[in-house]
């Protein structure tokens, strides 16, 4: 049996929660390998809705959840999420949740700097969640991050806070924002230590043992390829690498352990926040897609921008993300539309190109090159086999496969977990 890594193939919010939940029920360990509590997955299990940001989706299914070293962890947010989930009847403890001892922490000063920077950008805002993700990753690569393991060493905490405050207070003061005091931060961290440390361990050892024992591991990504800090629509991206290759580094395993890479894509396109979006629909059709698809961010509640499926963009995500098969979601949202459009490339300055270029000016100037395809009048909602789909819906899916150069291995036809057409089992490799 192969392990499976799940990543987004667009700009996030592709419906990963349902697919990850479906896969998690068949896995033994679920690992988050990047991002922070700026990402959100919504899972519906037996009429109960769970909204997760940091917790791996497997905890809802009673599986072992692991937060890898590639994740930046806000300890207060994590404890609040655990408390919320437990109020819904689930128990989360050190026996079913482990956190990498070398995962960096998000502190209040990170969120403060994040918000102060966005305010200073004015009309040029990136559209961050303001939760401190970017500044925390900056501290990681600048080698001044406070990590989970540091909570066990008060002297280490005190020394690291001196360096952190020298950097962050200078920036905050320059932006006209309040600065932080060392004593209050140190006391807060010392108070959090006994609540967080019981979850901490060198998770790479556990994952190595699981791999050797042949246990099924699901690597759960956040955001999506087009929000990758290297390969996405920079600077309107997240602050981590979201491609499947990061699963290995962000969990502490070798690349061969990652297994089958499943990319999640909607049957149309959405994006939250600022940044280029060539196929965006600023009309009644765009509004309809947003209303039917209930397109509001799990974390922020912001309404998502909606548009036609961008095959050129997803093909690019397939190539750089290492995607071997697609899970296509929300096909039912397109029911009843007389005509659909699929973007096959871009026109920039009179020239046709097959990829979205890296330069921001070129991205902003990109105009979609559409291919029209007939819609369908029947319903796809709740279909669990190809035979239940209208012929034109099947044709639409097949055309997407051709254009993105990857097969559809899962097809989701409603928010319900079992309304899924399985073409190929990702765990079979």
162 is catalytic: no
Burial category of 33 from C-beta neighbours within 10 Å (exposed 0-12, middle 13-18, buried 19 and up) = buried
Catalytic residue among 13, 74, 150, 228: 13
Catalytic residue among 21, 37, 41, 332: 41
In angstroms, the CA 393 to CA 403 distance is 16
Q: Which of 37, 9, 55 has the alpha carbon at shortest distance from 271?
A: 9
Strands 260-266 and 4-8, sheet pairing: parallel
Q: Are 55 and 98 in contact (CB under 8 A)?
A: no
Phi/psi-derived region of residue 238, left when phi > 0, alpha when psi is between -120 and 50, beta in every other case: beta
In the chain the first and final C-alpha atoms are separated, in Å, by 7
Q: In the 8-state DSSP scheme, what is residue 73?
A: B
**Following CA atoms 299, 302, 307, 313 in sequence, which dihedral angle do they give, to the nearest 10 degrees?**
-40
SS3 373: strand
13 is catalytic: yes
Which residues are the active-site residues?
A: 13, 41
């Amino acid at each position: 049996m192969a392990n499976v890594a799940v990543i987004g193939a667009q700009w996030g919010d592709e419906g990963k929660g349902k697919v990850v939940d479906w896969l998690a029920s068949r896995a033994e360990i679920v690992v988050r390998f990047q991002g922070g509590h700026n990402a959100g997955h919504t899972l519906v299990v037996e009429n109960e809705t769970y909204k997760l940001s940091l917790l791996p989706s497997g905890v809802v299914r009673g599986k072992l959840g692991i937060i890898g070293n590639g994740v930046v962890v806000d300890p207060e947010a994590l404890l609040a999420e655990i408390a919320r989930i437990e109020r819904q009847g689930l128990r989360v403890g050190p026996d079913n949740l482990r956190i990498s001892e070398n995962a960096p922490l998000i502190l209040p000063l990170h969120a403060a700097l994040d918000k102060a920077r966005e305010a200073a950008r004015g009309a040029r805002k990136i559209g961050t969640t303001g939760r401190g993700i970017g500044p925390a990753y900056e501290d990681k690569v600048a080698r001044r991050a406070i990590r989970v393991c540091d909570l066990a060493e008060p002297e280490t905490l005190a020394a690291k806070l001196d360096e952190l405050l020298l950097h962050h207070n200078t920036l905050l003061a320059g932006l006209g924002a309040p600065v932080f005091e060392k004593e209050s931060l140190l006391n807060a961290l010392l108070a959090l230590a006994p609540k967080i440390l019981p979850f901490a361990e060198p998770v790479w050892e556990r994952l190595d043992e699981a791999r050797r024992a042949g246990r099924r591991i699901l690597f759960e990504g956040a955001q999506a390829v087009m929000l990758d800090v290297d390969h996405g629509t920079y600077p309107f991206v997240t602050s981590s690498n979201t491609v499947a290759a990061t699963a290995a580094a962000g969990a502490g395993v070798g690349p061969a352990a990652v297994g089958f890479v499943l990319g999640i894509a909607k049957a149309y396109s959405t994006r939250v926040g600022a940044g280029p979006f060539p196929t965006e629909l600023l009309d009644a059709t765009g509004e309809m897609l947003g209303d039917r698809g209930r397109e509001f961010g799990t974390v922020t509640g912001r309404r998502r921008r909606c548009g036609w499926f961008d095959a050129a963009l997803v093909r690019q995500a397939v190539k750089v993300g290492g995607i071997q098969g697609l899970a296509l979601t929300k096909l039912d949202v397109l029911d009843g539309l007389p005509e659909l459009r699929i973007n096959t490339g871009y026109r920039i300055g009179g020239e046709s190109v097959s990829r979205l270029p890296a330069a921001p000016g070129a991205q902003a100037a990109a105009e979609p090159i559409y291919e029209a395809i007939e819609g369908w009048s029947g319903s796809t909602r709740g279909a669990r086999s190809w035979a239940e789909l209208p012929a034109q819906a099947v044709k639409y899916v097949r055309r997407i496969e051709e254009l993105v150069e990857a097969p559809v291995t899962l097809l989701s036809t409603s928010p319900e977990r079992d309304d899924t057409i399985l073409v190929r089992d990702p765990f079979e490799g």
